[in-house]
Amino acid sequence: TDADQEIIQELQKGAFLIKQETIQHQYPHCWRCKKPILYRATEQWFASIDKFREMLLQAIQQVRWIPGWGKDRIYNMIANRGDWCISRQRIWGVPIPIFYCANCGKEIINDQTISHLQNLFRQHGSDVWFAREAAELLPSGFNCPVCAAQEFTKETDIMDVWFDSGSSHLAVLEQPDTWPELHWPAELYLEGSDQHRGWFNSSLTTSVAVRAQAPYKAVLTHGFVVDEQGRKMSKSMGNVVDPLKVIKQMGADILRLWVSSADYRDDISASPNILKQITEAYRKIRNTSRFLLSNLYDFDPSVDQVNYQELTEIDRWALVSLQRLIQKALKGYYDYEYHVVYHAIHNFCVVDLSAFYLDMIKDRLYTSSAQGRERRAAQTVLYKTLHVLVRLLTPILVFTSEEIWRYLPKKEEDPVSVQLADLPQVKEDYLDLELEQKWERLLNIRAEVTAVLETARKEKLIGNSLEAEVFLYASGELYDFLRREETNLPTIFIVSKVSLHQLKDRQDACPTKGRQDAYLTKDRQDACPTKGRQDACPTNNNLLPVVEQSSYLSKAKNIPDLTVAVRRVKGAKCTRCWIFNEKVGLNAEHPDLCPRCLEVIKAGNFT
């Protein structure tokens, strides 16, 4: 700015200044000291890429770019870039191996000088360039090729630091004495999106120039970590999330799960609130694993596993669901889409397991004969599920997975650490498409029943679902389908009793037909759609009155020809399985048990 004022004064003195005003515009500043940058033209060394530009563009086509837009970005950069300015005015770095004749000023670099410098660098390192004079760096008796003089100076500029990093593939991958297991080219280059102009670019340029091939097979680009509002993190703003503090407070696995949960192709938000949400997701995964593990305490996979053919349908469905998880997770890992893996595992734990399968098998696990096939079948699925789940989780939740593996029942062939175990593979013989479609239909029906149960619970008609009796009214093929599954429906809905009826018979079965006192409360009596008439409940009736008890009825929202009704089930509650049964109390010795639990207790084989 001082120079600006002097320039203005000189222009005014010579009457050359036409106009002077102050404007506001963007101006580059030094990233370190924040002061304005003054551009000035200086002599530099440039490397032309024109002679191998097409080779660079062809090499780009042979690389797998993740995400795909990275390919277009670097392709356009290479196609339109000019010469590479390879010199930098710094005191120390990789020297530019050029000499100058002190007599004629000719720049000197040829095979003879390069070969001699190679030997010196190999023996003494590149610092020899800075430690010795020019005459000591040239072959003995060397003369200037132009004027034959023997006095020389050396270049003081160094190579662009991107040349250093751009040559790292050769420095790292071709050191058989140091890293014999590494091979050129690299499997993967991994960096931020700014490196299309930097490391990815310079590495490609040096590699194609020397070997006519890209130095990497795949390149993965990620965004940057920002705060919850999408702002760049900085100490001055106080929005920095310190990874070490997160690890100390929450554990390293929480940090790893947060990374895997985000789509890294864009910028990733981090904040205490976001990490708290991840902690909740982690807790659900951990608690699901803990439930599986806690029910395998007496299970020996070498002895107690039940053959696939002897498993129940719901068990086989669970294994189908497990194979679908493996498919999604393996594809996610292969595609470097870790957020897909995270969501697949989290959804599997929360929806497929906790909200459905585990709820369904609790009765078998807790009340069936300890050594019986039904309980062992459920344990077989739990074992297979956890054995798969822990291996799928290992790349992300490394510490949690190791903890689970330590207590998981083992076979002789299992490695001592889960880190040494292979990722699970899909078992094609478990993929029963017909079974999968059938249970998808049953799950849809279950969702309709659950909605009606929830309404009954809110209205205090029932407490939990086992206090309910469900009436299903269906017609046509749906009725036939439900009739085939009728014995399994109480288990699927987790209720004490299910009755199936033809939809057309519901009117004739209406228990309020011919009477007006069906509802227990006056407002329900007034709302009774059959009040004052003797025919029947209309098909679209949302409430089905029942003698001496209230019952809620609703047409299924998403399934034609299905109506669901719920009432409080008759009978007493078995204190062991909690299922209501009209036969509880008939046995004098065990008046609080149902016949099924009584049989297990008498056999003495219970958990």
- pLDDT the model gives residue 327: 98
16-30: burial string, b at 16+ Cβ within 10 Å, e else: eeeeeeeeeeeeeee
Average pLDDT estimate for 350-375:
92
Among all chains, which residue has been given the structure tokens 């906790």? 354
| C-beta neighbour count of 469 within 10 angstroms | 22
Parallel/antiparallel/unpaired status of strands 84-85 and 46-47: antiparallel
Residue 528 has pLDDT above 80, yes or no: no
- What token pair was written down for 142? 């060397």
Residue range 434-570, CATH number: 3.30.2320.20
Cα angle, residue 470 at apex, residues 468 and 474 outer, rounded to 5°? 170
- What token pair was written down for 223? 């965004």
Cα–Cα distance for residue pair 205/165, rounded to 1 Å: 11
Reported CATH class of domain 276-431: mainly alpha
- 80-123 pLDDT per residue, tens: 999 999 999 998 889 999 999 999 989 999 999 999 999 999 99
Same fold flag, 50-219 and 434-570: no
- pLDDT the model gives residue 26: 85
Residue 271 CB partners (closer than 8 Å, separation 6+): 227, 228, 239, 241
Cα angle, residue 577 at apex, residues 375 and 488 outer, rounded to 5°? 65
Cα–Cα distance for residue pair 507/486, rounded to 1 Å: 22
- 396-425 pLDDT per residue, tens: 999 999 999 999 999 989 999 999 999 999
Contact predicate 185/223, CB 8 Å: no
Residue 7 has pLDDT above 70, yes or no: yes
The domain spans of the chain are: 50-219, 276-431, 434-570
552 — pLDDT class (breaks 50, 70, 90): low
- pLDDT the model gives residue 1: 62
520 — pLDDT class (breaks 50, 70, 90): very low
- pLDDT the model gives residue 31: 82
DSSP 8-state code for residue 305: P
Cα–Cα distance for residue pair 565/553, rounded to 1 Å: 4
Average pLDDT estimate for 549-554:
59
- Terminal Cα distance for the chain, rounded: 86
What share of the chain has pLDDT > 70, as a percent? 92
pTM of the model: 0.79
**Residue 551: which of 560, 561, 563 has the closest Cα?**
563
- What token pair was written down for 134? 């020019």
- 215-231 pLDDT per residue, tens: 999 999 998 888 877 88
**Residue 184: which of 169, 162, 202, 165 has the closest Cα?**
169
Strand blocks (E) in 40-181: 46-47, 64-66, 84-85, 87-88, 99-101, 107-108, 152-154, 158-159
Give the chain's mean pLDDT.
88
Question: Which element (helix H / strand E) includes 433?
Answer: helix 433-458
Average pLDDT estimate for 359-376:
91
**Residue 222: which of 198, 263, 192, 258 has the closest Cα?**
192
Average pLDDT estimate for 343-365:
95
One-letter amino acid for residue 343 of the chain: H
DSSP 8-state code for residue 176: T
Cα–Cα distance for residue pair 144/100, rounded to 1 Å: 9
233 — pLDDT class (breaks 50, 70, 90): confident
Q: What are phi and psi of 501, to 5 degrees?
A: -140, 155
538 — pLDDT class (breaks 50, 70, 90): very low
550 — pLDDT class (breaks 50, 70, 90): low
- pLDDT the model gives residue 506: 58
In this predicted structure, which of 314-328, 330-344, 528-542 has the lowest mean pLDDT? 528-542
Residue 76 has pLDDT above 50, yes or no: yes
- pLDDT the model gives residue 505: 65
Residue 12 has pLDDT above 50, yes or no: yes
Reported CATH class of domain 50-219: alpha beta
Cα–Cα distance for residue pair 472/566, rounded to 1 Å: 9
Residue 524 has pLDDT above 80, yes or no: no
- 173-198 pLDDT per residue, tens: 988 888 999 999 999 999 998 899 99
Cα–Cα distance for residue pair 202/194, rounded to 1 Å: 13
- 287-334 pLDDT per residue, tens: 999 999 999 999 999 999 999 999 999 999 999 999 999 999 999 999
Cα–Cα distance for residue pair 532/529, rounded to 1 Å: 9
Residue 549 has pLDDT above 50, yes or no: no
DSSP string covering 222-265: E--EE-TTSPBP-TTTT----HHHHHHHH-HHHHHHHHHHS-TT
Contact predicate 321/352, CB 8 Å: yes
* Whole-Å CA distances, 314 to 196, 237, 322, 443, 482: 51, 54, 12, 11, 15
- What token pair was written down for 450? 């659950």
